[in-house]
Amino acid sequence: MNAWPTVLLAVLCGLLLAWLLGYLAMPIDLVRDFIPVPGYADDAIVVALVLRSVVRAAGPGALARHWPGTEDGLAAVRRLAGLR
């Protein structure tokens, strides 16, 4: 059971996702993009961490209710997010 109130959870997840969009839109990066592999890897790592935290905060019930894909895809996302 998720202890966070639903409205607070929605606001926090929305703020995290808004921050992620701002981070991706900023021209300043942790590692410059002209460096071939690490330049893009830092963006992918930040995206993965933020999305994982939002999915884990929302919980498996919310994820299942809003999942538009297949059951196999949902199982893969749950596994990657560390949900059971």
**pLDDT tens figures, 14-30:** 999 999 999 888 877 77
Gyration radius from the chain CA atoms = 15
- Is 17 a domain residue? yes
Residue 26's pLDDT is 84
Number of Cβ within 10 Å of residue 54's Cβ equals 19
- Is 1 a domain residue? no
Helix (H, G, I), strand (E, B) or coil at 34: coil
Q: How many domains does the chain have?
A: 1
The pTM of the full predicted model, rounded to 2 decimals, is 0.73
Number of Cβ within 10 Å of residue 27's Cβ equals 5
- Is 50 a domain residue? yes
Quote the domain boundaries for residue 63: 6-81
Question: DSSP class of residue 29?
Answer: -
